[in-house]
Homo-oligomer: A and B are copies of this chain.
Amino acid sequence: MMRIRLTLAYEGTDFCGWQLQPSDRTVQGELERALSVILGGPVRVHGSGRTDSGVHALGQVAHFDCPDGREGFPWRRSLNALLPPDVRVVDAGMAADDFHARFGARSKTYEYRLWHEREFCLPQRRRFVWACGPVDFERMEAAARVLTGEHDFAAFQNVGTDVGSTVRTVTSIERLAADSPLESAWRFSADGFLKQMVRNLMGCMVACGRGKLSVEEVRTILASGDRTTAPATVPPQGLTLISVVYGS
| Interface positions of A (Cβ within 8 A of B) | 9-11, 56, 58, 76-77, 80, 85-90, 119-124, 126, 128, 179
Alpha-carbon distance between A88 and B126 when the two chains are bound, in angstroms: 11
Q: Give the distance to chain B from A9, nearest Cβ to Cβ, in Å.
A: 5
Q: Is the CB of B119 within 8 A of A87?
A: no
Q: Give the distance to chain B from A11, nearest Cβ to Cβ, in Å.
A: 4
The answer to whether A11 and B124 touch (CB under 8 A), given A76-B119, A119-B76, A119-B77, is yes
Q: Is the CB of B124 within 8 A of A128?
A: yes
* CB-defined A-B contacts under 8 Å, sample of 6: A9-B122, A56-B123, A76-B119, A76-B120, A80-B120, A89-B120
Give the residue of B88, B122, B179 whose beta carbon is less than 8 angstroms from that of A120.
Answer: B88
Q: How many copies altogether?
A: 2
Q: Is the CB of A88 within 8 A of B9?
A: no
Q: Give the distance to chain B from A137, nearest Cβ to Cβ, in Å.
A: 21
Alpha-carbon distance between A126 and B128 when the two chains are bound, in angstroms: 14
Question: A89: which B residues are within 8 A, CB to CB?
Answer: 120
Alpha-carbon distance between A90 and B125 when the two chains are bound, in angstroms: 13
Residue of A88, A119, A128 most packed against chain B (CB within 10 A):
A119
Q: Give the distance to chain B from A17, nearest Cβ to Cβ, in Å.
A: 15
